[in-house]
Amino acid sequence: MSNSSNLTYPCIPGNTRCEVLVFEVELIVVPVLFLAAFFAVLIILLVLKFSHKPPQSYRPHTFEKHDPDHRNITNKHRNSTRQHLQGVDAPPEFNLMEHAVSMTALSHNSLQNCTSAVPQTSTERRRDIFQKISPLPLAFPVKQHKPFTLYRAVMDRQPVILRVLKESADARDGHFFLGFARFLTELGPHPSLPRLLGQVTTEMPPMIVLEELEHKDLLSFLWRCRQDHPGQAAPCDLTERRIFTMGAQIGSALEYLHSKNYIHGKVRARSILVDRDLSVKLWGLAPAFRMATDAGIPLDGVEGIEIRKWQAPEVLARKPLLQSSDIWAFGILLYEIVTLGDAPFPNVRPSELLQYLQRGNKLKKTPNCPKTLYSIIESCCQWRPNERPSPAELVRKLQSAQGRANDQTVIRVSEPLDIKKYVDEVGYPDSFSNAVL
């Protein structure tokens, strides 16, 4: 028995030295290897954690004055008295090109990451080609925190609009701005979309250059048309035929947008631009880009509240936005034109609009609305999305009616414009002051 036991257990009981030598691998080597592996993994994790720098704040541009010979650029921090050149607060005739741009607040890697969102094409422009830059007066003094400012300028003797990224924009705003520039480039030209004339992405501040349309947004134009201004030029007189022509142009742009599988999401008079010859172009394309990049997320907050009177029932019911939802809004737009800028669904609160429509109510025909036009409005504002016409059908109907429409009688509205009532009807927040005509 003792011999057999010694074969399986070579050490004499109580001989600690022998036990350590025999079981060295099991008792010492293996635990040490496990401990070493643990510390190695721990060190790697700590290195990865502390070597990853937090994202820097996106500071697209800082305007710094320079000396007359353009050799010394001051990079000192502006004190609290520095005037922030944002929106309509910028001084008249402020020339962005008379200031050098400090890029110390924007790292080289951040600049590369942002500008890589836009392909360098023939539309790239230099900042020094713009002249006579001044803030663009807005029809509404919008209080929303928009990451860009609009300026008027001259490029190659042509009036243009500059969409300039603000200095206060963060990284998300910067990527959205440059992504929108790429979206416009890829969308391509259309006769009823504003022309993209260029972009500035390799210099700060980033800009998008668009053609300027003389009469600006359609809503403000309609409001000017309904007022009796002494010496007002004749082009402000809208005839029945002109309304059908405008509708066909907007419908054509909407058809083009839908053919690219986009949803506009914000069709209304404020999203339409009017040129000198009264041709119109569809704008307000940022929501289309946002929905395409954010998996169809609809507008919310103030921006969602202000367009509730134009939203289709399915959108009011918080269902997915459809291309046919644009058709509903197009019908409301036609109502805006024929009423010279009245708020849709008067005397109905925006929060109660869905219940109002559920009871079978519709937009009421106004005395100055032609029957043919009202029938088109009704077809657009069908409760079921699949019963609304396509943009192509709308264009055919509008063009057909255009040939038979009266081109002599001018559309008139008996009631004077009440901006306060309009703001209340549409449901703008209290932070919105009176519109500036």
Instruction: Please tell me the predicted confidence (pLDDT) of residue 36.
Output: 84
Instruction: Please tell me the predicted confidence (pLDDT) of residue 281.
Output: 97
Query: Encoding tokens for residue 299?
Result: 């507008």
Q: Is 239 helix (H, G, I), strand (E, B) or coil?
A: strand
Reported as a pLDDT band with limits 50, 70 and 90, residue 17 is low
Beta carbons of 223 and 341 less than 8 angstroms apart: yes
How far is residue 35 CA from its own chain's centroid?
55
Shortest CA distance to 282 belongs to which of 197, 187, 366, 371?
A: 187
Shortest CA distance to 114 belongs to which of 187, 210, 181, 163?
A: 181
What are 414-432's pLDDT values in tens digits?
777 888 888 888 887 654 4
Q: What phi, psi does 274 have (nearest 5°)?
A: -115, 130
Given a cut of 80, whether residue 309 has pLDDT beyond it is yes
If residue 331 lies in a helix (H) or strand (E), which one and from where to where?
A: helix 323-338
The predicted model gives 301-322 an average pLDDT of 83
DSSP 101-136: EE-TTS-HHHHHHHHTTS---TTB--GGGEEEEEEP
CATH of domain 218-426: 1.10.510.10
Average pLDDT, the chain: 77
Q: Percent of the chain beyond pLDDT 70?
A: 68
Given a cut of 50, whether residue 51 has pLDDT beyond it is yes
**CA contacts within 13 A on the Cβ side of 411:** 28
Maximum distance among all Cα pairs of the chain, rounded to whole angstroms: 128
Given a cut of 60, whether residue 315 has pLDDT beyond it is yes
Instruction: Please tell me the predicted confidence (pLDDT) of residue 148.
Output: 87
Given a cut of 70, whether residue 130 has pLDDT beyond it is yes
Instruction: Please tell me the predicted confidence (pLDDT) of residue 41.
Output: 83
Query: Is the whole-model pTM more than 0.75?
Result: no
What are 337-374's pLDDT values in tens digits?
999 999 999 989 999 999 999 999 999 999 889 999 99
Q: What does the DSSP 8-state code read for residue 63?
A: E
Q: Which of 88-102, 216-230, 365-379 has the highest mean pLDDT?
A: 365-379
Separation between Cα atoms, residue 196 and residue 165, nearest integer Å:
16
Given a cut of 50, whether residue 84 has pLDDT beyond it is no
Beta carbons of 283 and 273 less than 8 angstroms apart: yes
Q: How far is CA 216 from CA 4, 152, 212, in A?
A: 105, 12, 8
How do the domains of the chain map onto residue ranges?
85-211, 218-426
Beta carbons of 288 and 265 less than 8 angstroms apart: yes
The predicted model gives 193-220 an average pLDDT of 91
Shortest CA distance to 324 belongs to which of 248, 270, 263, 268?
A: 263
**Buried b / exposed e along 230-239 (16+ C-beta atoms within 10 A):** eeeeeebebe
Instruction: Please tell me the predicted confidence (pLDDT) of residue 144.
Output: 56
Given a cut of 90, whether residue 75 has pLDDT beyond it is no
Instruction: Please tell me the predicted confidence (pLDDT) of residue 207.
Output: 92
Given a cut of 70, whether residue 126 has pLDDT beyond it is yes
Given a cut of 60, whether residue 63 has pLDDT beyond it is no
CATH of domain 85-211: 3.30.200.20
Q: Which of 141-150, 261-270, 405-414 has the highest mean pLDDT?
A: 261-270
